[in-house]
Amino acid sequence: MIGGAKPLAAPLLGATPPAGRRLATAACAPDPSPALATAAAQSPGQSDRAPPPRPPDESAASSTALRGTSQLSRWSRARALRSGRRLGLDRAAVSLAPPTMPQPTPSLVPDVAAGAAEDDDDDLCDAERDAVAGKAIYMVSDGTGWTAEHSVNAALGQFEHCLVDRECSVNTHLFSGIDDMDRLLEVIKQAAKEGALVLYTLADPSMAEATKKACDFWGVPCTDVLRPTVEAIAAHIGVAPSGIPRSSPSRKGQLTEDYFRRIEAIDFTIKQDDGAQPQNLNRADIVLVGVSRTGKTPLSIYLAQKGYKVANVPIVMGVNLPKALFEINQDKIFGLTINPVILQAIRKTRAKTLGFDGYTSNYAEMAHVRQELDHANQIFAQNPMWPVIGVTGKAIEETAAVVVRVYHDRKQKCSMPRISKRY
């Protein structure tokens, strides 16, 4: 009978879905069959005079209903991950403010309901992918974001035991140049949707305070990375901070001597790469010596950006080192070494990039790699004044920190090693 099909269609046609799922129900519910609607309107007498229309396939309808139920579950799960309801906010309400919290001023928090409603268009696959990707950390800065980024990287180093195994994967997102309230609130609103942690370095006290209030209002965990240090220095020297961001036009003064010193150092370092112009080694602040692929060039450029004039000289079997290397102040020279297995892997990648093949070059063969490292170690042993730094497993920044520390210790002859700079 036709009437037997009506209960099957009723949940999709007659029931009123919850407010949070109406969009999903509309997307999943099939259009009502015209034949089914006509049959439902017929009286018993009419059905005796005309043959009843063919009922829809119950197995197909059941399958559609099951798919709709599964789709609703997926929508609900995705929305719980990305929507305001994850933060305990009522999306159906006109205002999403918690009952116990006073309504914030319009200048601080925009229409939250309108922003939350935009989440309805989020793609399901993106939501599930974000859930698998891990926790999000938002870094917000009114300048370059260097301070926030390096602070977060240093802190994440304490969690390598689980980050490497992807047990607690983290995605960092840097928002630099955030110097107006509208952009700031947009970032925090997005952080609320993604359940992110917000870490900020905002020199303007009003911007920092607005960030704290907005994060508290939307339930976003946040930490001011810059403020504790600024307040500690202010208390120590007895001077109030200006509260002006470094990127502000009002702070754009004349180019400093330090700026030109760094430009000159970068220019010098590029010209002295890979043993070029050995007659200028005496002008270098630091000279790096090591076999190929020990990181001499990237380390040189990194140090140059900090204002050091750096030259690097390769150690090659069968090629004598330049005489000028032994005529300059030996306190400037630093040797670099590396584990042979790691060096071979790096050279294999390099050879593949350059299109070398194993039949024409022994560049990445283990026997040749060990011979080069042994040859370098003999040179280092003959020059005990050269500190030898192992770069295996070290980032460029870590190796640079060792070089700079030893350089300043030798130059200043302090009783306690330090890196000093006057402002």
Number of H helices, E strands in the chain: 18, 8
Identify whether the C-beta of residue 127 lies closer than 8 Å to the C-beta of residue 78: yes
Whether residue 261 sits in one domain with residue 245: no
- pLDDT, residue 133, reads 63
Task: Please report whether residue 103 resides in a domain.
Answer: no
Number of structural domains in the chain: 3
Identify whether the C-beta of residue 200 lies closer than 8 Å to the C-beta of residue 225: yes
User: pLDDT tens, 45-101?
Assistant: 444 444 455 544 444 444 444 444 455 555 555 444 444 344 444 333 333 343 333
Identify whether the C-beta of residue 292 lies closer than 8 Å to the C-beta of residue 337: no
- pLDDT, residue 253, reads 60
Whether residue 237 sits in one domain with residue 262: no
Whether residue 245 sits in one domain with residue 298: no
Terminal CA-CA length for the chain? 91
Whether residue 245 sits in one domain with residue 309: no
- pLDDT, residue 412, reads 76
How far is the C-alpha of 55 from the C-alpha of 143, rounded, in Å? 68
- Beta-strand (E) ranges in 261-384? 286-290, 310-314, 333-337
User: pLDDT tens, 400-418?
Assistant: 999 999 998 888 766 666 6
Task: Please report whether residue 98 resides in a domain.
Answer: no
Whether residue 289 sits in one domain with residue 219: no
Task: Please report whether residue 125 resides in a domain.
Answer: no
Task: Please report whether residue 407 resides in a domain.
Answer: yes
Whether residue 263 sits in one domain with residue 242: no
DSSP annotation of 15 reads -
How far is the C-alpha of 321 from the C-alpha of 323, rounded, in Å? 6
How far is the C-alpha of 245 from the C-alpha of 184, rounded, in Å? 15
Whether residue 403 sits in one domain with residue 337: yes
Whether residue 294 sits in one domain with residue 233: no
- pLDDT, residue 127, reads 41
Identify whether the C-beta of residue 36 lies closer than 8 Å to the C-beta of residue 2: yes
Task: Please report whether residue 335 resides in a domain.
Answer: yes
Domain boundary among 217, 249, 281: 249
Whether residue 277 sits in one domain with residue 243: no
Identify whether the C-beta of residue 182 lies closer than 8 Å to the C-beta of residue 152: no
Identify whether the C-beta of residue 34 lies closer than 8 Å to the C-beta of residue 89: no
- Residues in CB range of 284: below 8 A, 6 or more apart: 268, 272, 309, 310, 311, 328, 332
Task: Please report whether residue 128 resides in a domain.
Answer: no
pTM: predicted TM-score of the whole model, two decimal places: 0.61
Whether residue 74 sits in one domain with residue 186: no
How far is the C-alpha of 339 from the C-alpha of 390, rounded, in Å? 8
Whether residue 263 sits in one domain with residue 352: yes
Given a cut of 50, the residues of the chain with pLDDT beneath it are 1-51, 55-69, 78-125, 127-128, 130-131
The residue range of the domain holding 208 is 133-249
Whether residue 159 sits in one domain with residue 59: no
- pLDDT, residue 90, reads 39
- pLDDT, residue 160, reads 83
Task: Please report whether residue 201 resides in a domain.
Answer: yes
Task: Please report whether residue 20 resides in a domain.
Answer: yes
Give DSSP secondary structure letters for 391-417: -TT--HHHHHHHHHHHHHHHHH--SS-
Helices (H), 18-145: 22-28, 34-41, 44-49, 58-82, 112-117, 124-133
Q: CA Rg, the chain, in Å?
A: 33
- Please report, for the domain that includes residue 196, its CATH number: 3.40.50
